[in-house]
Copies of this chain bind each other. A is one copy, B any other.
Amino acid sequence: MTVALLTDKYELTMLSAALRDGTAQRRASFELFARRLPAGRRYGVVAGTGRFLDALAQFRFDDAALETVAEFCDPATLDYLRDFRFAGDIDGYAEGELYFPDSPVLSVHGTFAECVLLETLSLSIFNHDSAIASAAARMVSAAAGRRLIEMGSRRTHERAAVAAARAAYIAGFDGTSNLEAGRRYAVPALGTSAHAFTMLYTGPDGPDEPAAFRAQVAALGVGTTLLVDTYDVTAGVANAIAAAGTELGAVRIDSGDLGVLAGQVRRQLDELGATGTRIVVSGDLDEFAIAALRAEPVDSYGVGTSLVTGSGAPTANMVYKLVEVDGRPVTKRSSNKQSHGGAKQAARLAKPSGTITEEVVFPAGRPPADAEGARTLTVPLVRGGQRVAPDDIAAARALVADGLTSLPWEGLKLSHGDPAIPTRLVAP
């Protein structure tokens, strides 16, 4: 299916109206940005760029799509759409870059017609993926180097789950439970087992956890992760080591007071001689719970619901605004929604130590004197409709890691606060 109908109807009716009087061909620049971060957040992480550029290449109107559009648009609009492909230029922040209020995450330049059509799809992708990556990055810093596994597919839309796994991986997660994210984006696919598997081994005499563990080890080897809390954690750990021996890869605890249980299980494993067996915890973890377990002998966190729902901020609330027409800056005057006219670029100032101090957003091509030498954030993504930015998830992942180390220490606090650095908007 084409992605072109993953779009609001009004993009097409605006196109239709603008085609009638020729204004559709005016040169336009649109910018995608967040007026503010989600409440209390100190930074955001740009994600979705790669997915957006993939979608852009598929943004064509096939016969089925044209049939839908024909229900409400005139033949001239259909003629325009039949041959449509975006032929303009796109600049933006590299995927994995941090962002702050008013950061021009994406700048789309072309005719009004070709730019307006991309509004809904670009926002859907960036708002979703950036919300997930921004939450994930907080979990990564809270985990302080311990492993994080994304396992939230079941708590979100089945396709959003694939994008969420990708965004979490970019933000620093180590892997995902989602197979399609493994296939499509090469995110390491990881897995343990469910309570249902243990409960399957129930006979006339009742549950038989040892049989379940033996079966799992027979199939998956001693490096597997056994889920030990189906019935009784202490008995579960004993059964696990009995089934797998002291080379068992890991045990998972999915319920109860995870901190207390992790300590108990660590002692039990060590006493049994399974000193190398790791402990995975899961169950309603968010960045605060992850941080609270720092003092406990936890090796890996499995994170589900809070990750895929953006930990309280399920959308990044980015907007896509017309900022320039035929070279003239434009702004609207709606109450509380003032936008800043003119195409923009950005740079980020830092101390010699690398700690960032300010985001500078300036009229395109005219950096202020104090931003020369600063790191430029705006990079070319598309030229003449052709993608010029590589699709490189590893690079995006490295950029997030670098970004987190560049934040002033207050920026990594999990508590509510202001953006880690101020944004300075240089007037046109």
Contacts and interface: CB of A to CB of B under 8 A. Distances in A.
Nearest to A23: B200
A279 interface: no
Nearest to A74: B219
A16 B154 contact: no
Contacts of A218: 17, 20-21
Copies in the complex: 2
A39 interface: no
B195 A322 contact: yes
A6 B159 contact: yes
Interface of A: 1, 3, 5-14, 16-18, 20-21, 23, 26, 28, 30, 55, 64-65, 68-69, 72, 74, 112, 116, 119-121, 123-125, 127-128, 151, 153-163, 177-180, 182-183, 189-202, 204, 207, 215-216, 218-220, 224, 229-232, 254-257, 305, 308-310, 314-315, 317, 320-322, 325, 328, 330-337
B255 A337 contact: yes
A8 to B, nearest CB: 4
Given A68-B183, A200-B23, A13 B193 contact: yes
Contact of A200 (B257, B308, B322): B322
A236 to B, nearest CB: 10
A183 B6 CA distance: 10
Given A12-B191, A157-B159, 14 more contacts: A5-B179, A10-B194, A13-B219, A123-B154, A124-B153, A127-B155, A128-B158, A156-B315, A199-B332, A200-B322, A202-B325, A229-B334, A255-B336, A310-B314
